[in-house]
Structure 1
Amino acid sequence: VSVTMDGDTIAAVEVVSNSETPEIAGTALEQIPAAIVAANSADVDVVSGATYTSNGIINAVKNALSGGGTSEPEATPEPTQEPVAAAEAYQGFGLSNTVRMGPGSDDTGTPVYSINQVFASVVFDGDGKILAIYVDQLEYATPNYDGASMPHFSGWPGQGGYNNDSNHDAVVDGTTPDTEEQFTEEVAGWLTKRDRGEDYVMGTGTWHEQMDAFQRLFIGMTVDEVEEWFAKYCSDANGRPLTENSSGEGDAEKYAALTDDEKAMLADVTSSATMSLNDSHGDILSAIRKAYENRVPLGEMTAAGMGLGLSSTVRMGPGSDDTGTPVYSINQVFANTLFDSEGRIVAIYVDQLEYATPNYDGAEMPHFSGWPGQGGYNNDSNHDAVVDGTTPDTEEQFTEEVAGWVTKRDRGETYVMGTGTWSEQMDAFQKLFVGKTVDEVEEWFAKYCSDANGRPLKESSSGEGDAEKYAALTDDEKAMLADITSSATMSLNDSHGDILSAIRASFDNMVSVDLTLG
């Protein structure tokens, strides 16, 4: 960038060169320089959906203001820096769910717990080599965790809430409200580690900066090679890349056995990435492995952007069990999307995780009984709509339940809906969305889906206002909907999950790639 000063005033900021995709980063390229001039400071907000471009410009201006003169924006930490072409390619999504005991307990002796969910969106070539990768993570903890910006979960309504350290001073201030409103508000406020941005600072940079560094390292590797790299160059004690100062059991010997070139490579890696790839904070490796196992073929396309979006919502019910205890669940939708240079979807893969109280009587539903110490929850173990007792109130039960969570795609043929399985219905919607922008997807939903339940309209739709909405359509539109509803009838936004918001988030989180596939 070039910065022009008029005394102590920033008179102009010009991006003199960049390698960004204009349609994706163009807003930041226009708005950030103008915002810096208006504020007379480089401390301005980033542009949503162009975080990396925004930070590149901001950092370049700061460098120029500190005496560095005209400066190129820092290389944006994107999944791939160079154009990539592959005759055969696949898109994969992987999710790993793990628990963390601690750190420790609060000042009343009540334990701290958290759940760590790592999700990886990966594009592979025909040989299984990683062409592009985007990893994010959600950690949510008991409210007595004293770290600022940590998402919280107090347990299910009716479990008494949980100790709360509201001002993060390591002293419990009381308990969170034991209400459905608190439940809804907490889950709606969950932010991923990328969303937490500059608030999630680690020893070397932020979480997302460290993850970006690992992503760049993994480009060109197969998943086997990523795992081999981890096994050879990371601590067996804590999963972090080795350094000459590593002190875990066996680390010194493992590091000493490396060549000088390998030590130099690790010094370069650990200058920007020191966090663990697999520990109680999250299993990044398993998410990448799962993405490979779940990969689906991609057709001929050119992708200029890659995004991963998450929406988390709650469901009250369905109803209560035979003792009158309510059923609750949490629905998380993950959208993995490739976009062209105009923001149109060229490939999309959506999956969903729903986990419910154990008194939900449907087979195959993942369960969560609440945090250890909350008394467990009513359990219908044989799915006959009759409670058989309560789940064990132990850390072992906590660990086992979360480890057993499977997505709706993983549930496969066991998740049957009115028309096919959940996966088959989602696949039909994905085909429909290809070629559309996210705005156009939302417009399609607004015009052709029920305002009452979010399902595609059909002649027999009976929700409030559905008949009138359907009658106003043309014959061609009705024929299109008849074709859609022959294979996809589920809602795109209701208490079972907000698919639209996840797709929107994938666009907002988009990073630049340059992939020519097929």
Structure 2
Amino acid sequence: MKKVVKLSICLALACSMVACSPKNASDSDTVGGNQSTDNVLTGKAKGFGGEVIATVTLKDGKIDNVVIDGSKETKGIGSIAIEKLPAKIVEAGKADVDVVSGATVTSKAIIAAVNNALDPEKYPYTAEEANAGVTKTPEVVVAAEVFQGFGLSNIGRVGPGKDDKDVQVYSINQVFANVLFDAEGRILDLYIDQLEVATPNYDGDSMPHFSGFPGQKGYNLDSNHDGVIDGVTEDTDANFLSEISSWATKRDRGEDYKMGTGTWASQMDKFQSLFVGKTVAEIKEWYTKYCSDVNGRPLKADSSNEADVTKYSTLSDEDKTMLADVVSGATMSLNDSHGNIIEAIEIAYNNRKGLDIKGAAAIGLGLDTSGRIGPGKDDKDVSVYSINEVYANTLFDAEGKIVAIRVDQLEIATPNYDGESMPHFSGFPGQEGYNLDANHDGAVDGVSVPTEETFASEISSWMTKRDRGESYVMGTGNWSSQMDKFESIFIGKTIGEVEEWFAKYCSDLNGRPLKADSSKDEDIKKYNALTTEEQAMLADVVSGATMSLKDSHGDIISAIRKSLANKVTIDLTVSK
């Protein structure tokens, strides 16, 4: 990601053992380390696909031979580094050699493994590194002003494909971006993730599923992901709630979301590193110049598409070299039916807000998803159902304290809900429709008919609670103003302290800040146990924020915790 320069190497089978030819010892530097009696040393490091093992043979104290076992590195990419670097190391007599272009991660892993073999005390291979990857030091970034923005782009997709019963698969693709900009609109840092949710007839093992709302008779189900339909999903409240609570983003899916080159997360990291330092306009220019007009993917030298071949041929040799490095780690589209990554970044820019901070040591984005039976029923006694997604975009200091936070939420209801600005979803094409209150007067006018046109139109029109602005009126102000109040409280706290604040000062019944005039015995007892100073603090809180931080509308606390779990190290200093 970003300046941390996470260059990606795809997961695939690779050559497992490659040895270099011994060189004249007089050309090599003498090295020390844990030399064994037979002069054969072994070291390890974390590559892209897994462990990289280096077997180093010393002769008269000098490197004579290097053998690399990198069976999980990429064939044709990581394997090139495995083939070339051992000879370079022998020739140099040390591991400090240039990396192989386009295979940076594997190259660095080989170098680290050789160093670990030669001097394990100076170059240890820790359990943390084995589990979390090679430690990288972020580039120091200094800016006079910093702005933070959150962007959400929603697309409905017809696909991927159909099941063996010739029933269409449909999916919902949401890209969300937590982006930091300077005063000129250049990107200082960013964290992008995506949620893709498909009908349960899709055979992908780790794909999140949604069957539609209770009452819509479920959807074809491939329960064991073998490409054969096993039945139909249960049309129940329990299944509805269970599916939504289990949704995982593409980053959360991790190694399960493999692509032709690496994983979705590794490809996104590559793009993020490319976007840092660019304005939104420059990213668009880059996309227009260097990506396919057919599918939105970076152009490749070996494309078979005539339009792509023509576009690629107009580029300079320098441009082609740059693209070769890009596609070594990222080949997926930046804008297609899977999702519009460019749009999410642009929306984040349009939503940007100035920060009053001295710096940040980490950036994170957390998503919490939950289903709700409600709010209420329509005048035909049919239940309203809703889906709630809470997004927490957070910056942390080195101690894990929150230095900046921007929370937003998307609430989507069945079309029988009478709220005028509420985003709606009627179900997937082919399903039974749902009661519809077209003019939001509390009276059902008919039944929606889910078609591919309405499916795409509904999803593309979804707006977050902040986007809904003044139309989302609450008892005290609007949703945005209430969330702003809570965010001001969270600044300077760790997530543990946020959770402690919530547990102490919010109702155990509904998750709302305690109030002096509560009518609930349990809340009254909890409020009376507070000091006068604490009650005065709460009076200030509820003057601007009375909504729940954790209930059936959404779990804001959980989203913040997830943003900490997802944090990525940065080194940002604000120098005014």
TM-score (normalised: structure 2): 0.78
State the AA in 1 paired with 2:473: V
Looking at structure 1, the residues matched to 275 and 416 of structure 2 have their Cα atoms a distance apart, in angstroms, of: 42
Larger relative contact order, structure 1 or 2 (CA cutoff 8 Å, min sep 6): 1
Q: Deviations over 1:382-428 (max 9, x none)?
A: 11111101112210000000000000000001001011010000001
1:361 correspondence with 2:418: yes
Q: Give SS of 1:216's match.
A: helix
Q: Deviations over 1:181-223 (max 9, x none)?
A: 0011100100000000000011111110000000000010001
1:49 aligned residue: none
1:350 correspondence with 2:350: no
Name which one, 1 or 2, has greater alpha-carbon Rg. 2
Identity fraction in percent: 61
1:127 correspondence with 2:184: yes
1:430 aligned residue: 487
Q: Deviations over 1:34-88 (max 9, x none)?
A: xxxxxxxx99xxxxxxxxxxxx99x959973999766687997999931101011
TM-score (normalised: structure 1): 0.87
Q: Is the 8 A contact 1:79 1:513 kept in 2?
A: no
Q: Is the 8 A contact 2:366 2:563 kept in 1?
A: yes
Query: Could you tell me which of 442, 451, 456 is aligned with 2:499?
Result: 442
1:64 correspondence with 2:121: no
Q: Is the 8 A contact 1:77 1:209 kept in 2?
A: no
**Aligned ranges 1:159-308 → 2 under 5 Å:** 159-248=216-305, 250-308=307-365
2:169 aligned residue: 112
1:491 correspondence with 2:576: no
What is the deviation of 1:249? 5.0
What is the deviation of 1:270? 0.5
State the AA in 1 paired with 2:348: A
What is the deviation of 1:462? 2.8
Distance 1:183 1:77, change over 3 A: farther
Looking at structure 1, the residues matched to 473 and 374 of structure 2 have their Cα atoms a distance apart, in angstroms, of: 19
State the AA in 2 paired with 1:104: G
Count of aligned pairs: 475
Q: Deviations over 1:291-314 (max 9, x none)?
A: 000000011322001000000011
What is the deviation of 1:461? 1.9
1:502 aligned residue: 559
Looking at structure 1, the residues matched to 491 and 192 of structure 2 have their Cα atoms a distance apart, in angstroms, of: 23
State the AA in 2 paired with 1:372: P
1:46 aligned residue: none
1:512 correspondence with 2:561: no
Q: Give SS of 2:475's match.
A: coil
Looking at structure 2, the residues matched to 393 and 202 of structure 1 have their Cα atoms a distance apart, in angstroms, of: 32
2:524 aligned residue: 467
What is the deviation of 1:273? 0.6
2:397 aligned residue: 340
Q: Which moved more, 1:230-239 or 1:382-391?
A: 382-391
* CA RMSD between the two structures: 2.8
Q: Give SS of 2:251's match.
A: coil
Q: Give SS of 1:202's match.
A: coil
Q: Deviations over 1:495-518 (max 9, x none)?
A: 111100000000000000000124
Unmatched 5+ stretches in structure 2: 1-31, 46-69, 72-104
State the AA in 1 paired with 2:313: A
Distance 1:244 1:350, change over 3 A: same
Query: Could you tell me which of 129, 133, 146 is aligned with 1:89?
Result: 146
Query: Could you tell me which of 436, 445, 454 is aligned with 2:511?
Result: 454
1:410 aligned residue: 467
Looking at structure 2, the residues matched to 411 and 491 of structure 1 have their Cα atoms a distance apart, in angstroms, of: 18
Looking at structure 1, the residues matched to 223 and 168 of structure 2 have their Cα atoms a distance apart, in angstroms, of: 16
Q: Is the 8 A contact 1:305 1:339 kept in 2?
A: yes
Q: Which moved more, 1:463-472 or 1:87-96?
A: 463-472
Looking at structure 1, the residues matched to 112 and 363 of structure 2 have their Cα atoms a distance apart, in angstroms, of: 29
Looking at structure 2, the residues matched to 150 and 492 of structure 1 have their Cα atoms a distance apart, in angstroms, of: 29
Q: Is the 8 A contact 2:375 2:386 kept in 1?
A: no
Looking at structure 1, the residues matched to 427 and 486 of structure 2 have their Cα atoms a distance apart, in angstroms, of: 34
Distance 1:96 1:159, change over 3 A: same
Q: Give SS of 1:409's match.
A: helix
Q: Deviations over 1:304-333 (max 9, x none)?
A: 010000000111112211112110000000
Q: Is the 8 A contact 1:136 1:193 kept in 2?
A: yes
Q: Deviations over 1:118-161 (max 9, x none)?
A: 00000000000000010000001000001110000000011111
Looking at structure 2, the residues matched to 171 and 109 of structure 1 have their Cα atoms a distance apart, in angstroms, of: 11
Distance 1:79 1:119, change over 3 A: farther
Q: Deviations over 1:351-389 (max 9, x none)?
A: 000000000011100000011111221100111111101
Q: Give SS of 1:329's match.
A: strand
Q: Is the 8 A contact 2:155 2:173 kept in 1?
A: yes
Looking at structure 2, the residues matched to 315 and 254 of structure 1 have their Cα atoms a distance apart, in angstroms, of: 49
Distance 1:436 1:139, change over 3 A: same
Looking at structure 2, the residues matched to 13 and 86 of structure 1 have their Cα atoms a distance apart, in angstroms, of: 40
